[in-house]
Amino acid sequence: MIQDSTIMSDSSVSNEPLTLAILGAGAWGSALAQLARYNGHTVHLWSRRLDNSLAESIDSIDVLVSAISMRGVAVTIEQLQTLKLPDKIPIVTATKGLDPDSTLTPSQLWGMGFSDHPIVVLSGPNLSAEIEQGLPAATVVASEDLEAAKIVQQVFASNRFRVYTSFDPMGTELGGTLKNVIAIAAGVCDGLQLGTNAKSALLTRALTEIIRIGTHLGGKTETFFGLSGLGDMLTTCNSALSRNYRVGYGLAKGKTLEQVLTELGSTAEGVNTTNVLIEIAHREQIPIPISWQVYQLLNHQITPQKAVEALMERDLKPEFYR
């Protein structure tokens, strides 16, 4: 029998200290910087607010990591294209969002902007506050270029952060992105105190919905059952640390969206993602009933209570189609 250690060991990837640029010094960029430094790597952390230039930050780096919110991705790619990025280094995208102008994912934008570089998606159940406390967590690094994924795996993997590789960047990225919409619904469910049965039904049907549209967009079914899919959905939908969950919870408690977002004071990607997702679903004719209720709620077209009623009163059907 082949031993697990035989399958896992990989001597082709070196453990030597590397130099990284991490773009985005918000909650996630800072946590990723802490993980890389814990492994002895040098990190140039860049954001608009910090007093360092983008050109200096990418000088002589081995890996580029983007942990910028969705709204900053396209503009940062444009800025980087005017600079000299070291040849062929892996570009890691850790953003969970959809671009409102093109409806593309961050990895698609990076791939179009830097077609000579391997693109690696990093995504999983990774609440930054828990990671910064040193609590154990796991994630996925996915790329069509396995060697690049293995380099990124070595950069971040440690006794507190377990990193798996995957060949499915689209599925990995969409799992982390689409669950933010469902986290808003989960926050509503808990804010309205609908109970554990309702929450389980919501999350289970939401997974079916994510798989329906996620596979249509190119993700693999099994990826959505993994860490970056179901795993991240469970984390985000069950934690008050999640900003998307807090959006839904606040709306259920009668706050306005504007009030909730002001109180959060940081990125809740699910709000923008919902709008873009509905545009994609209409274009591609894919039914996504839970996300549709979230969309109506965020756009002041329905109350939280009416959204629940609408989901409960849909046409009856088999759970699975053959």
Ligand X SMILES: NC(=O)C1=CN([C@@H]2O[C@H](COP(=O)(O)OP(=O)(O)OC[C@H]3O[C@@H](n4cnc5c(N)ncnc54)[C@H](OP(=O)(O)O)[C@@H]3O)[C@@H](O)[C@H]2O)C=CC1
Ligand Y SMILES: O=C(CO)COP(=O)(O)O
Q: Which stretch binds ligand X (CB under 6 A): 21-29, 209-217, 246-254, 278-286?
A: 21-29
Catalytic-role residue among 84, 179, 306, 317: 179
- Rounded to a whole number of angstroms, the minimum distance from the CB of residue 43 to ligand Y is 21
**DSSP SS3 for 239:** coil
Is 232 labelled a binding residue? yes
Give the phi and the psi of residue 152 in degrees, each rounded to 5.
-70, -35
Exposure of 313 by Cβ count < 10 A (0-12 exposed, 13-18 middle, 19+ buried)? exposed
- Rounded to a whole number of angstroms, the minimum distance from the CB of residue 11 to ligand X is 30
3-state SS record for 181-212: HHHHHHHHHHHCCCCHHHHHHHHHHHHHHHHH
Nearer to ligand X, 230 or 302 (CB): 230
Is 49 labelled a binding residue? yes
Among 18, 21, 25, 278, binds ligand X (CB under 6 A): 25
Pick from 70, 55, 123: nearest CA to 92 = 123
- Rounded to a whole number of angstroms, the minimum distance from the CB of residue 250 to ligand X is 17
Strand-pair category, 137-142 with 161-166? parallel
Is 48 labelled a binding residue? yes
Among 99, 232, 281, 291, binds ligand Y (CB under 6 A): 232
Q: Is 88 a catalytic residue?
A: no
- Rounded to a whole number of angstroms, the minimum distance from the CB of residue 159 to ligand Y is 20
- Which tokens belong to 194? 């609908």
Q: What is d(CA 238, CA 283) in angstroms, rounded to the nearest whole number?
A: 31
Length, in residues, of the chain: 322
Q: Hey, what amino acid is at 190?
A: D
DSSP single-letter state for residue 158: B
- Rounded to a whole number of angstroms, the minimum distance from the CB of residue 294 to ligand Y is 13
CB 215 within 8 A of CB 303: no
Nearer to ligand X, 171 or 304 (CB): 171
Binding of residue 244 to ligand Y (CB under 6 A): yes
Query: One symbol per residue from 71 to 110: x for binding ligand Y (CB under 6 A), - otherwise; what is it?
Result: -------------------------x--------------
Q: What is d(CA 132, CA 118) in angstroms, rounded to the nearest whole number?
A: 28
Binding of residue 126 to ligand X (CB under 6 A): yes
Is 226 labelled a binding residue? no
Q: Hey, what amino acid is at 145?
A: D
**Residue ranges binding ligand Y (CB under 6 A):** 96, 125-127, 180, 183, 232, 235-236, 242-244, 269
The residues assigned a catalytic role are 179
**Residue ranges binding ligand X (CB under 6 A):** 24-29, 47-49, 67-72, 75-76, 94-97, 126-128, 266-267, 269
